[in-house]
């Protein structure tokens, strides 16, 4: 004879209906307020970027003042176009509220393609201008003094450009060793000139300067790409962090689709601390995104993770909300069972509680008969990823109760649940006798969860 009966209550349709009614997985986005908050929290990042660009522009202008007239004009034109490109791309990146709804990875891909196109166009323009400057080599043939003066000018310009790159640009990050090799070319041209081989030194010095100019351009573009990726990725991660804050508590909708007064979903509580864990993961990635040593490729990876983290937030909110709603369902099921047992067996509900007084856990109810017999109703939450509630009936009969009587009673409960709209599986019997401690609800209430205690203390 088994006093332990088990019924699986299939609530798949209930879960589906509740998900549709609550729209839990749709993370709340108050877009105007969200946009303002994200921009407020990334204002320091934008200010840091602007300050770095302004300082580089100042130092560049100082260095360019030492160039000869033609190359100074060339480099100032290049600098102006680079600044215009940077300002335009940053404006596009932070343009409108629909930026918050776009895939950051796609946005960065567009920006990267734009940088590549403009890099190619800028190189072509520089080569056209430099070709005009270097076309005069043949004119200097046979004129040692003019050739020597031209070599000196190109060498001065080359060393000025090398100094500009060395002091203002992260050349070792994007082109390790390249600057040192070009400085060696300048030294070779200088030695040839000092030896009187001016016509041999001149094209070498010109070529070294051209390569230095393209190196500067390439580094500037690569750094622009990194900064664009850094800004976009930081913003997308701050967006997720802001959404976490905005969705930490959610309204719970009633049958009429309106929020229930005084009822809120505490997502961190009902997610068993998953929300706080997600918050920490996002914070760690924001720190990496803001680190200037993080490469553009790594920023793209972080941008992809931002989209995944936002998706996880939606799934987490969904799970938390369904756990809260299922908690109430457990009480409803226990109440329904108590009503059935009262009707068919004159049992009365005397006490009920959640395990450890934690609404996330199983619900326990004790029913008593006038003759002293007891029935404990336990409604257990579903396993992760499942939707069925597990109903257990533990019978403590002090008179003689046959197996058929216990089974008939449990079967009547199962049938009644079905009639009330709760589909069930077949009735099963667990071996052994019920643990006497299960009927002691003071024991069931003990050892409350620390997180639950902390929340209760904050609420009071």
Domain boundary among 212, 240, 268: 240
State which of 206, 240, 274 marks the end of a domain.
Answer: 240
pLDDT value at residue 47: 83
Residue 140 has pLDDT above 70, yes or no: no
Asked whether residue 149 falls in the same domain as residue 96, the answer is yes
| Chain centroid to CA 85 | 29
Of the listed ranges 73-87, 100-114, 382-396, the one predicted with least confidence: 100-114
Q: What is the CATH number of the domain that holds 411?
A: 3.30.310
pLDDT at position 212 over 50: yes
In a domain, 279, yes or no: no
Which pair of tokens denotes residue 55? 């300082």
More confident residue, 104 or 82: 82
Residues 15-63: tens digit of each pLDDT: 676 666 666 555 655 556 777 777 788 888 878 888 888 888 888 888 8
* pLDDT: which is higher, 194 or 102: 194
Q: Judge whether 66 lies within some domain.
A: yes
Q: At what angle do helices 31-64 and 69-93 cross, to 10 degrees?
A: 170
DSSP of 401-444: --HHHHHHHHHHHHHHHHHTT--B---EE-SS---GGGG-HHHH
355-386 pLDDT, tens per residue?
Answer: 999 999 999 999 999 988 999 999 998 777 77
Same domain, 53 and 124: yes
Q: Are 154 and 209 in contact (CB under 8 A)?
A: yes
Write out the H or E segment, with its range, that includes residue 348. Answer: strand 348-354
Judge if 85 and 174 occupy the same domain.
yes
Task: Please check whether residues 8 and 147 belong to one and the same domain.
Answer: no
Rounded to an integer, the average pLDDT of 424-446 is 87
- Among 103-107, 158-162, 225-229, the range with the most confident prediction by mean pLDDT is 158-162
Angstrom distance (rounded) from CA 133 to CA 326: 78
Using pLDDT thresholds of 50, 70 and 90, give the confidence band for residue 451: very low
Q: Are residues 180 and 100 in the same domain?
A: yes
In total, how many domains does the chain have?
2
Contact 289, 235 (CB under 8 A): no
- Model pLDDT, residue 455: 47
10 and 93 fall within a common domain: no
pLDDT of residue 97: 43
pLDDT of residue 273: 94
Interval 169-175 mean pLDDT: 94
Within-domain flag for 145: yes
What is the per-residue DSSP string for 60-124?
HHHHHTTS-HHHHHHHHHHHHHHHHHHHHHHHHHT--GGGGGS-HHHHHHHHHHHHHHHHHHHHH
Asked if pLDDT for residue 132 goes beyond 70, the answer is: no
- The better pLDDT of the pair 142, 208 is held by 208
What is the DSSP code string of 148-172?
HHHHHHHHHHHHHHHHHHHHHS-HH
193 and 46 within one domain: yes
The better pLDDT of the pair 240, 7 is held by 240
Strands 363-368 and 374-380: antiparallel
Residue 287 domain-assigned?
no
State what percent of residues in the chain have pLDDT above 70: 83
11 and 72 both lie in a single domain:
no
Tens-place pLDDT, residues 238-272 = 989 988 988 888 887 766 667 778 888 899 999 99
Q: Are residues 220 and 336 in the same domain?
A: no
Least confident span in 131-140, 315-324, 391-400: 131-140
Residue 263 lies in a domain: no
Taking the C-alpha atoms of residue 269 and residue 280, their distance in angstroms, rounded to an integer, is 16
Instruction: Categorize the per-residue pLDDT at 105 as very low, low, confident or very high, splitting at 50, 70 and 90.
Output: low
Does 248 reside within a domain? no
| pLDDT confidence of residue 104 | 64
Q: What is this structure's pTM?
A: 0.77
Range of the domain at 365: 4-16+326-459
The answer to whether 434 and 3 are in contact (CB under 8 A) is yes
pLDDT at 96 exceeding the cut of 50: no
Q: What pLDDT does 460 receive? A: 41
Query: What are 174-203's pLDDT values in tens digits?
Result: 999 999 999 999 999 999 999 988 888 988
Indicate the residue among 240, 260, 291 that finishes a domain.
Answer: 240
Angle at 457 between CA 453 and CA 458, to 5 degrees: 120
* Confidence (pLDDT) at 368: 93
Assigned domain for 278 exists: no
């Amino acid at each position: 004879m088994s006093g332990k009966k088990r019924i699986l209550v299939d609530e798949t349709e209930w879960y589906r209906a509740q998900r549709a009614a609550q729209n839990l997985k749709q993370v709340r986005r108050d877009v105007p307020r969200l946009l303002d908050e994200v921009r407020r929290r990334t204002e320091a990042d934008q200010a840091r970027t602007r300050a770095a660009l302004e300082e580089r522009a100042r130092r560049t202008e100082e260095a360019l003042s030492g160039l000869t007239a033609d190359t100074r004009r060339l480099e100032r034109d290049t600098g102006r176009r680079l600044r215009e490109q940077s300002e335009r791309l940053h404006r596009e990146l932070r343009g409108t509220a629909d930026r918050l709804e776009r895939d950051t990875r796609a946005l960065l891909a567009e920006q990267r393609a734009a940088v590549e196109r403009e890099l190619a166009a800028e190189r072509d323009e520089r080569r056209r201008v430099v070709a005009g400057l270097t076309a005069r080599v043949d004119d200097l043939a046979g004129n040692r003094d003019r050739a020597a003066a031209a070599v000196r000018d190109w060498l001065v310009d080359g060393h000025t450009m090398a100094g500009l790159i060395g002091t203002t640009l992260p050349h070792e990050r994007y082109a390790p060793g390249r600057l040192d090799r070009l400085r060696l070319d300048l030294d070779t041209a200088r030695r040839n000139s000092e030896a009187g081989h001016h016509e041999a030194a001149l094209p070498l010095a010109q070529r070294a300067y051209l390569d230095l100019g393209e190196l500067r351009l390439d580094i500037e573009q690569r750094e622009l790409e990194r900064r664009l990726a850094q800004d976009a990725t930081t913003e997308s991660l701050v967006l997720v962090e802001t959404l976490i804050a905005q969705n930490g508590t959610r309204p719970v909708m009633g049958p009429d689709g309106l929020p229930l007064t005084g009822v809120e979903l505490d997502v961190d509580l009902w997610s068993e601390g998953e929300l706080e864990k997600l918050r920490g993961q996002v914070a760690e990635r924001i720190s990496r995104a803001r680190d200037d040593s993080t490469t553009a490729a790594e920023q793209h990876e972080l941008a992809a993770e931002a989209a995944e983290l936002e998706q996880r937030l939606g799934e987490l909110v969904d799970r938390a909300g369904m756990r809260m709603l299922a908690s109430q369902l457990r009480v409803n099921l226990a109440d329904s069972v108590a009503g059935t047992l009262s009707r068919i067996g004159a049992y009365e509900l005397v006490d009920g509680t959640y395990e450890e007084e934690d609404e996330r856990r199983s619900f326990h109810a004790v029913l008593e008969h006038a003759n002293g017999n007891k029935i404990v109703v336990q409604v257990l939450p579903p396993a992760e990823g499942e939707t069925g509630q597990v109903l257990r009936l533990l019978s403590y009969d002090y008179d003689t109760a046959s197996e058929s009587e216990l089974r008939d009673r449990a079967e009547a409960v199962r049938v009644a649940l079905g009639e009330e709209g709760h589909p069930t599986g077949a009735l099963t019997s667990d071996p052994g006798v019920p643990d006497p401690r299960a009927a002691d609800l003071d024991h069931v209430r003990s050892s409350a969860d620390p997180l639950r205690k902390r929340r209760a203390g904050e609420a009071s």
